[in-house]
Amino acid sequence: MTGPLADLTVVELTVHRAGPFAGSLLSDLGAEVIKIERPNVGDPARSQGPGPELKSGYFIANNRNKQSVELDLKTDAGTEAALELLADADAFVENFGYGVAEKLGLGYDAVREVNEDIVYASVKGYGETGPLREKKGLDLILQAEAGIMSVTGPEGGDPVKVGQAIGDLTAGMFATIALLARLHEREQVDEADAEAFTGKFDVGLFDAIASVMNEYVTFHSMTGEVPGPQGTTHQSICPYGLFEAADGHFVTGVPSDERWGDLVDLLGREELREYDTNDERMAERERVREILHEEFREEPVDHWLEALTDAGFPNGPLNDLTDVVDHEQTAARGLAVDHEDPDAGEITLPGHPVNFPDFEPSIRSPAPRLGEHTEEVFADVAGDQTTLDEWADAGAFGD
């Protein structure tokens, strides 16, 4: 293994997306990630969406570079085997419902008994504190309840969900950041204070979405206003949004008042010059956008992309998924990776979002088949054949 996390061993008990996404970010950076799955069933994501049996594209995207082991955690032998596995791990990631890990014998206290240095990440819908901690959560539910759906959608229209599981993915990212922070903290703890180290933390999808609401929260405290769907506009900057050209759409914005005159010069619409501050443009936002639309409709998209780029304004086309996958920037940054999966064949996987000058995150191994590494991993964990046979006979690995 290579990469900045090549000496890290992570065990995950995860399903669907939030927890698995955290594990995939770590595994792409070189960590050894071992995924515990329910015998014969596995992560439900295996059966959701197109792909081979028990290996959907949804599962493949979030579980590359991992090993899969089957454990029946409803048996004492399964729990014992899991704890032996965790005894030598650096971190544990779980995103089961509130209290489930504890019922399965893998709560923080139980794991810490066998590994006092463990960093323990718990990802939940609502976190592990607060009045809603036991409530079931899905990304859709949390998008609505934590507010982001209320500001998403066409202006004046009904709220809609973000087109991707923003709660799952951001919770997975925040969990990854916190896990690395805990590992760093662990390295700073003096040996005399090791017993006082608490490696546990939790993050909720509610927390993640509420956090990315960002300046909306602060604006509300200042003005008391409750924003509705924003369409493609910005809550505090004008112009900023999607515009119609003669043959399609593009996006652009003016980053500062100092550049406003340059845009007026480019467009030749002198009536815009009076709106020389962002406050004035926000106050007359509809009029400003109306004039811009009138002018932008006169020429095709490519004309405006070239003109705006030459003038130093940020801009871009409205791309669909095919455009993004085939984009020259995507290729240059390794963001769409051609991959030969032994079960799915030739596919494309999302690349790692961070660029390292001296290390290229890579897909070292395909997403595992269910239980593919059970024998290999636990032959080593058990330490001897007798223990391994006893676990197997007691149902640790399922039927």
Return the active site residues: 168
What is the C-alpha to C-alpha distance for residues 240 and 259, in angstroms, rounded to an integer? Answer: 13
| C-alpha torsion sign, points 244, 246, 252, 258 | negative
Tokens of 66: 């991992």
What is the C-alpha to C-alpha distance for residues 285 and 45, in angstroms, rounded to an integer? Answer: 44
CB atoms within 10 A of CB 71: 28
| C-alpha torsion sign, points 66, 71, 73, 78 | negative
Q: What is the DSSP string of 102-167?
A: HHTT-SHHHHHHH-TT-EEEEEESS-SSSTTTTS---HHHHHHHTSGGGG-SSTTS-----SS-HH
Q: What is the length of the chain?
A: 399
What is the C-alpha to C-alpha distance for residues 5 and 30, in angstroms, rounded to an integer? Answer: 5
Rounded to the nearest 5 degrees, what angle is found at the Cα of 230, between the Cα atoms of 224 and 234?
A: 85
DSSP-assigned beta bridge partners for residue 349 = 337
